[in-house]
Amino acid sequence: MSRRGVGALGGLVVLVLAAGAYMAPSGLDEILPDIAPSGGSSQGSTAQDEDVDADALAGASSDLDALAIAELVHGGGYDRDLFGQRWADIDRNGCDQRNDALRAGAVEVTTKPGTHGCVVLEATIQDPYTGTTIDFVKGENTVDIDHVVPLSRAWQQGASSWPEERREEFANTSGNLLAVDASANRSKGDRGPEEWMPDAGRCGYVIQWIDVKTEFELSVSAEEKSALEDELDECEGSL
């Protein structure tokens, strides 16, 4: 992923991620227990309470213009298993990517003994999608790891032609993973920004979405691009 966009997120939205345990994955990865949806509307304010970086916005706008436009290919044979091992340790640090994502920005972390600081039992997460604080406890099913650009979406926009190794990299790359409120994540599902936007951190979200698309050379639909442009305009208006 382009490091400009990811690095800019620190100044755009608090993407505080918690370390932890294996919880229900995002998108279409597997059937999930019912949780009442929260947040995640395509309506509402964009840049309220965000520190917006002009250079990051300009870079995202330029990257968006360079992305190929193609319509979504629905029903194209997507299967989660086509994206390789779930939560593989692709950075070879001895801890799987799911736990890395949970641990990345967590505070007040308590880890499980004997896991070399990998598995978190308790932590505090500032949810980037709702703006709320979550007291994470392993096993309570309050936090999901979201693929910012969902796997099924990527499949429809270029990943279907990749080798499995590339798809596994995409499914586990840290720049496409966020620890988020489970209800908000399940409200999002596999929808794109033309259908769903978080209630908080919208500027950071669109920049991260564009950054992932750019790094992996995925296309955007015309509706998706228009929604992203509208959000970027809102963010620029808050400068």
Measured between alpha carbons, how far is 69 from 124 in angstroms, rounded to an integer?
Answer: 39
Q: What is the pLDDT of residue 48?
A: 55
Q: Which residues pair with 134 in a beta bridge?
A: 125
Decide if 19 contacts 103 (C-beta within 8 A).
Answer: yes
Q: What is the pLDDT of residue 120?
A: 82
Taking residues 151-171, what's their average pLDDT? 96
The rounded mean pLDDT for the chain is 82
- Amino acid type, 130: T
pLDDT in tens, 13-25: 333 333 333 333 3
Q: What is the pLDDT of residue 44?
A: 45
Please list, residue by residue across 62-91, b when 16 or more beta carbons sit within 10 angstroms of its beta carbon and e when fewer do.
Answer: ebbeebeeeebeeeeebebebbbebbbbbe
pLDDT in tens, 97-134: 988 998 886 888 888 999 998 998 899 999 999 999 99
Taking residues 127-145, what's their average pLDDT? 93
pLDDT band at 76 (very low <50, low <70, confident <90, very high): confident
- Range with lowest mean pLDDT among 48-52, 135-139, 208-212, 232-236: 48-52
Higher-scoring residue by pLDDT: 132, 4:
132
pLDDT at 58 over 60: yes
